[in-house]
Amino acid sequence: MGLSVYRTDYRRVMEEHTCNTCGSNDLVTISITVDGQDLSFTACHNCQTKWWLRDGQRVALESVLDLVAST
């Protein structure tokens, strides 16, 4: 049902906007599209942790660079 889908998406978004290292919500996110895939870079203001998401999954910086280099 639509409501449950919305709830699932909402929970996923909340996880993406909480720092895994310190639990802070004080994050900055930059979203880009590379080769049709949504990539977002997030950095935590509190502890300076940085990470990438590809289609909602955390990915290593190396795999992002491979994707960009292959285009």
Residues of the shown chain interacting with Zn ion in the complex, contacts defined by CB under 5 A: 19, 21-22, 24, 44, 46-47, 49
Closest to Zn ion by CB, 47 vs 59, is 47
Judged by CB, which is closer to Zn ion: 8, or 21?
A: 21
Nearest distance, CB of residue 15 and Zn ion, angstroms: 14
| Nearer to Zn ion among residue 37 and residue 48 (C-beta) | 48
3-class secondary structure, 19: coil
- In order of 3, 6, 43, the CA distances from 39 in angstroms are 26, 21, 13
